[in-house]
Every structure is written in structure tokens, then in C-alpha cells.
Amino acid sequence: MGLAGIKIVLVEPAGPLNVGSIARVMKNFGLDNLVLVNPQCDPLEEAAMKMGVHAQDILESAVVVTTLPEALQGCVRAIATTARVRDWDTPLENPRTALPWLLELPDSPAALIFGREDRGLSNQELNYAQRFIRIPSSDNYPSLNLASAVGICCYELAQYSAPPTPPTTHDLASLDIVETYYQQLESLLLDIGYLYPHTATTRMAKFRQLYNRAHLQTQEVAMLRGILRQIEWAVKNQSNHENS
């Protein structure tokens, strides 16, 4: 699958010129899978099509979805771009060293996520990625244009489009399957009082980081969900016994 399996995901892009330029630079480096999350512009308007010269096919085939989880359906790996340093245990990495990871499983779709032109990705949106990159730039003017950032990353991906020794994969769980587990886990932890509504998001981010490092397989997620269902059953029956 190689580069064909990489989704370039843009979250709420606002500028048609940027979207057109991104389509063109994707074409330059052999990527063609563009996904737009709740776009704030029409990717087929004249300005976008003009900037996307010779890459109009990418604009025409772009997938438009409402939410980021929809964009990541089927993906087993995802990297998000961010310019801000956050108080997380997971480090910000250099694109050159991190991006080849998306290509290590040649038969598995992966995603590279970019945020809004003016404010990037929210902390909640970053939760959906497993690794995070920051493009090194001058301290005098560190802010990169969205299309420029995509271009740099597409170039780096193109250098590693044929990894020499891909690791063996044992049915890695897709991100949407893992997300279902996170939702079930959060609900249970709230029910038993381990989580509180006002701190749930922060605590669940820690759980996400822990499980992301484990690279869960589909059968492992099924096992974990089975454990949660058994706990839910035990809690319900204990409550019924106490009330009888």
C-alpha cells in the first residue's frame, strides 16, 4: 500500500488556496488520499482548483467527513502535527524520524493529521493520535503556512515510501475499534467513581497514552472489552443484591 495508504487529514481547513496547494504538493510526492474534516471552504471552488493545478483529481476525490474519528476509520496508526509544547508525557518528535513509522506496516492504512490554519489541533483532537511531530523552524518566525507544513511532511514520507524490512503485524486494532474501547472504559470508570466528570478528559488522556504505546491487537481489544463487560455485570448484580 505504501504512500497510497496514507491519509492526509485536514481538520476544518478554512482557505481554499491552502487546500488547492495541498492537493498539488500531495501530487508532487505521490500521495492522493485527502480527507477533510468539517471544511470551512469548498474544496472544489475556483481558487482551490486553480491552485491545485494538475491535482484536481485529488480535490475531486477528497473525502469530506464531520468528525476526526470518522476520518481515522480503518487506520491503525496516526501522527498529529502541532506547533505547541504541551504538558504531556509523549514527546514532540522530528518529522524525519517519526513519519517513517506510518509506512512500516505496508498493508495497513495510516493517517497524518493537520490542524486549523489559525490555531491547530485541540487537545481533544490530539488524543486521537499516537505520536506527535513538530516541524523545526526559526525561533524568529516559527509559524508555518498549512500548505508548507503538509509539503514538508509529504516530502519526508516520500523518502521512506519503500521501507526495507517492515515488521510483522498481528492484526493491529484500527483506531475506531480502540476508540470504542476508550468510550466503554470511561463510562465504567465514571460509574464506579474512579473518574469524576470534571477530570475525566485529563485522566482518560493518560489511559490513551498508555494503550497507544502498547499497539493493541484486535483480539486484545476484544479481551479488554470482555473484562469491562464482566465488571459492568458484577457491579449491576451487586447493586441489585444490596437493594433486594
Look at the domain 175-243 and name its fold. Answer: Helicase, Ruva Protein; domain 3 (1.10.8)
CA distance 221 to 180: 9
Report in angstroms the alpha-carbon separations of 68 from 42, 52, 142, 228: 18, 24, 26, 25
- What class is the 2-159 domain? alpha beta
Confidence label for 241 from pLDDT (cuts 50, 70 and 90): confident
In which band, very low, low, confident or very high, does the pLDDT at 244 lie, cut at 50, 70 and 90? Answer: low
At 93 the pLDDT is 95
Q: Residue 216 — pLDDT band, cuts 50, 70, 90? A: very high
More confident site: 165 or 45: 45
Q: Which residues pair with 133 in a beta bridge?
A: 81, 93
Torsion of CA 208, 211, 214, 215, to 10 degrees: -70
225, amino acid identity: R
The residue type found at 205 is A
The answer to whether residue 16 scores a pLDDT higher than 90 is yes
pLDDT of residue 86: 65
Q: What is the pTM of this model?
A: 0.84
CA distance 120 to 226: 37
Q: What is the pLDDT of residue 139?
A: 87
| DSSP letter assigned to residue 167 | P
Q: pLDDT tier at 171 (50, 70, 90 boundaries)?
A: confident
66: left (phi over 0), alpha (psi -120 to 50) or beta: alpha
Per residue in 59-95, pLDDT tens?
A: 999 999 999 999 999 999 999 999 876 666 778 999 9
Mean pLDDT across 191-210: 94
Domains of the chain, residue spans: 2-159, 175-243
pLDDT tens digit string along 19-72? Answer: 999 999 999 999 999 999 999 999 999 999 999 999 999 999 999 999 999 999
Kindly indicate the confidence band of residue 207, based on its pLDDT and cuts at 50, 70 and 90: very high
Listed in sequence order, the residues at least 6 apart from 23 whose beta carbon sits closer than 8 Å to its beta carbon are 34, 43, 48, 51, 52, 55, 56, 58, 59, 62
